[in-house]
Structure 1
């Protein structure tokens, strides 16, 4: 079966709101309403659908892991409660219908080696500390005790098994003598009651393995490596101890397929180029051949999605896909009909429906409902009665009228390239051009945004700004040509795409040409600085956080966690060569041109950032302040590459609000 899928969901917004709501401008929600952390998260159904687990923010501000019966969600059991600000449950996963696992992060430590893994029965009993991070004396405060079988921080949770056992899969990380990040890993099965550890497969494995794909029986079948600039994948049959090469080519350059997943019948699915976009194909491991035609293609977008599989029957039920927004394609007629009923009952939102592992027997479905103006809400759907019961919202203290609508467009860059872009209008739809922010995503080889709820864009729209989020060349998800067009274009055509986005928004009558700001983190921080320097007549001010300030420092900093493999090969392909491109780096490194930046600037960085070490921020702040008095510089001592702590997010965005109000909204 083949599905050609391009399902823009933006037409849904036409009937979302009454004229009265559209005309009204509600009072401003506080900064904390957007950035205080999700009030409900990690929502997941038990394998047979009898229970639903989630983490919830309690009235006293602490976080709890709770389990509810799906037949009566008012019956709630608190499994664990973190009384410390430095502890957070970051992942919840059912091991079987009786037992659940969860990952805890020590928020005081930003680096690797601080993830703890626990397992507990759903009644709260028989808790076992499976993996110990760098907790030290703090372990007793979350109710755990070390045993001689507790694994060290060189292990990490990988996945659950799906055989009704008490086992999970864990990765053991191995480091070399150079990089901060692990060089490779190996998979093991860990019994969550006895803590007995055994290898998930027999025999040796290929070198530098970092990515694993297991089949329907949780057996490692496909692995991927990066070795001296080559991307290599291998496979093995379940009964074999030897791995065979599946795919081998120069990373980024060669046209290769990417293994993605096995279905319940142990068919391998891969993503490969089809009419310039990544599409989903079946791959026959016996014949070593990919199908001629894709099973799913999404014209205009690379295939991005995940399968829905009934683990009890092995049946492939459908796919969760992402085009301009999320959507679901069901192959199963019953689920397709249930999706239609849910969408009819919940118009105006994208309703992502998840089934339990034993889907055919599950009495409920889990709905994640979201729109551009509604934060994510979780709902249980009773398959027998059609009743819906709300479980909670990630950000319940925001109303639709307080934020603006988002839409998806394309604009022409100066060289004619079509650039995708998301635009969020100010709340209340004020007439005439408004102050605007070009919000630049990080990566840069990543997809930046989607139509659904975006806290940063929603916050800025609530404060009256037009928010422009370009998927500039070099972004992924929009075809191979779009990605390749951004290679070695830092500060050049990638930068021009941002300026062209601002000029396009002016032509649409949305943005005031005299009141446009640049903002972004990581690469977005770099682009903010470079844009202020390169286009001072266009961008009035800027906000950057965790930003690269000197391209050469990316290759030379001893504080960076970037691995040698990336610096020696991938970065030279995508960014440039420090020796061969020295002149280009000089022209496109903000640090070397700091004296040219005269506009107001807000900078922020995390003191524990290893991806973009603080020397980037320190050196640039010192250099730019020498000739620019309108520079503010924030340092958050307990943060790394971005903000994990709610109090820091609230503080930062509060300062952003004040900065933009002074230097953009009310500037002459």
Structure 2
């Protein structure tokens, strides 16, 4: 190994330096600008590495480096200010594909698919999305496109050909989102499309798994509240599992390794674990392959492209780690960790993992955004490729840890707490930051832009994975069913009171923030616990549970409305009294604290009627309400300028009503 690996990684060096004199915290742009380096990926044999890098003028470029000498690079293509590259995928060692989204069209989809040689030549526009004319990103170089917006990139192939896999969507007459899909092979030079298999397929397929030959083998469907997994065998389809999506014990196919081994996610002692499933015998192993008490399995594999052999699994528990099966990768990880001891170092292989001369390293921590580097196996040297947010100094970020507190009914609630940098003189103003979903895992031990921005402004940030959140066992998830405004809400108030007992939070200066479900919880928290929460910031928030079922502009599918949501949220008829009791809109007159609201005018997940109706209702009784709208935004802030503006507005609001409050 090199005796001085950090000379290749100046952006990582700051974590190992002693604390410098306190400088002013970075402004909002440093936290919320588009990543300056993103979508970093190795070519199949590891001879090249691609990245999307921000360039002067607000445009991005797809850049390909020679991994033997990173100073040798080619800018394959530059976007205009109206487009963004959202994905990069290697077709083979000499050809690369990429997906472009038009920023001027906010709704989901409108994804363009293109491919080019690594010298920038032979650029082909494969899928037209919603472009009706040639765009600046391609200019006069573009060749005629073939496929329309009912197709999208699905995956690469692994045979060295110029083909990729694309998914063709099929719609019903009701829903905005596709009801089903089918996979095809698409040649990225000729735009020739051909089938991946013959014959019929299961209904309502929403996800596929392919084998070593890039042929679909497993189909995952959702029909009338049932999740169904099917396996293609001898030209026909047989069911692997069929159960109620929420209530039955079932397994979820995760990935194939080789021709006959399927890895599935299934219950083990109340938590999701990873199991092997033998497709020859159609039986699941009795004991889990990976199981961590207290956490549901959440991970991704590293596979050898030639054999499909499983080499390792990246997993998330309280923090990220990798379980390596192959001794070569274990040794590589140990050397990288020795060179970079202050970060979690996630190591990614090329497709030909064992033979490739290099590995891709993503180094990060709770205080450092992702930094990318190439590790050369022969020399042990690390060479930097840049970072997502280079203006962030880890020494100015707060410490972030996972804790567990007791809710009022005795349930353990996990929560990530980010403390402001520097030594505290006493309790500080605090923000309970509520994740959306709500049936997802909210917090991880990583660099969280929102939490660190607030912590850099002096706030203790508490992020509970309240009941109903996933990732912490089935019972924790189920405990949140039909608990909007009830026990789920109480968990947030209990988090604030727990933070006060720890001596972190000033009980007179606690605010509540969140988006989507987090926006709903912010409004309900201000109404339900006015003595606890001094002010609130909500964006893209649900303001009435009933509106989720009745708003025609919503993108919720009939499947979700008639099955999943009725189990998790409630039934509009049977639970009408609960909906009314826990409706911020119907109780708007009770909200007296300062409130900042924001909404995207093109939001289809939580349509604008939610925000407009609540704004009108609350302002009749509360003059201290501010409402911001962004005309070119959907459900959340996709546009850099809007993200930065919103967080500047939130910073000023919290400074006035929380930090300076007496």
Give CA-to-partner distance per residue, 1:289-334, whole Å, 9 cap, x none.
1110011111111111111111123321111111111110111101
CA contact (8 A) 2:58 2:81 kept: no
TM-score normalized by the length of structure 2: 0.96
Q: Hey, what's the Cα distance between the residues in 2 that align with 1:492 and 1:161?
A: 48
Give CA-to-partner distance per residue, 1:354-398, whole Å, 9 cap, x none.
111111221111000001111110011110001111100100011
CA contact (8 A) 1:444 1:475 kept: yes
The CA deviation at 1:147 is: 5.9
Q: Corresponding residue for 1:4?
A: none
Q: Hey, what's the Cα distance between the residues in 2 that align with 1:435 and 1:376?
A: 28
Q: Corresponding residue for 2:70?
A: 73
Give CA-to-partner distance per residue, 1:217-245, whole Å, 9 cap, x none.
211111111111111111112xx332111
Q: Corresponding residue for 2:227?
A: 231
Q: Corresponding residue for 1:136?
A: 132
CA contact (8 A) 2:212 2:307 kept: no
Match of 1:443 among 432, 437, 446: 437
CA contact (8 A) 1:204 1:241 kept: no
- Give the 5 Å matches for 1:338-353: 338-353=332-347
Q: Corresponding residue for 2:391?
A: 397
Name whichever of 144-153 and 540-549 sits farther off.
Answer: 144-153
Give CA-to-partner distance per residue, 1:177-205, whole Å, 9 cap, x none.
10011111111110111111011111111
Q: Corresponding residue for 2:42?
A: 45
Q: Corresponding residue for 1:503?
A: 497
- Give the 5 Å matches for 1:46-445: 46-82=43-79, 84-139=80-135, 142-143=138-139, 150-237=146-233, 240-445=234-439
TM-score normalized by the length of structure 1: 0.95
CA contact (8 A) 2:125 2:144 kept: no
The CA deviation at 1:400 is: 1.5
Instruction: Provide the aligned C-alpha RMSD in A.
Output: 1.4
Structure 2, unmatched stretches of 5+, are: 1-13
Q: Hey, what's the Cα distance between the residues in 2 that align with 1:145 and 1:607?
A: 35
The CA deviation at 1:113 is: 3.8
Q: Hey, what's the Cα distance between the residues in 2 that align with 1:354 and 1:146?
A: 32
Q: Does 1:587 align with 2:584?
A: no
Q: Corresponding residue for 2:538?
A: 544
Q: Corresponding residue for 1:3?
A: none
Q: Secondary structure at the match of 1:525?
A: helix
The CA deviation at 1:112 is: 3.4
The CA deviation at 1:441 is: 0.4
CA contact (8 A) 1:370 1:453 kept: yes
CA contact (8 A) 1:257 1:270 kept: yes
The CA deviation at 1:140 is: 5.3
Give CA-to-partner distance per residue, 1:523-577, whole Å, 9 cap, x none.
0000000100000000000000000001000000000000000000100000000
Q: Secondary structure at the match of 1:47?
A: coil
The CA deviation at 1:252 is: 0.4
Q: Does 1:465 align with 2:465?
A: no
Q: Secondary structure at the match of 1:592?
A: coil
Match of 1:520 among 505, 510, 514: 514
Q: Hey, what's the Cα distance between the residues in 2 that align with 1:77 and 1:285?
A: 44
The CA deviation at 1:26 is: 2.4
Q: Hey, what's the Cα distance between the residues in 2 that align with 1:216 and 1:328?
A: 23
Q: Hey, what's the Cα distance between the residues in 2 that align with 1:136 and 1:20?
A: 54
In structure 2, the CA distance between the partners of 1:66 and 1:183, relative to structure 1 (3 Å rule), is: same
Q: Hey, what's the Cα distance between the residues in 1 that align with 2:356 and 2:228?
A: 39
CA contact (8 A) 1:216 1:266 kept: no
CA contact (8 A) 2:260 2:280 kept: no
Q: Secondary structure at the match of 1:139?
A: coil
In structure 2, the CA distance between the partners of 1:110 and 1:34, relative to structure 1 (3 Å rule), is: same
Q: Hey, what's the Cα distance between the residues in 1 that align with 2:561 and 2:94?
A: 46
Structure 1, unmatched stretches of 5+, are: 1-14
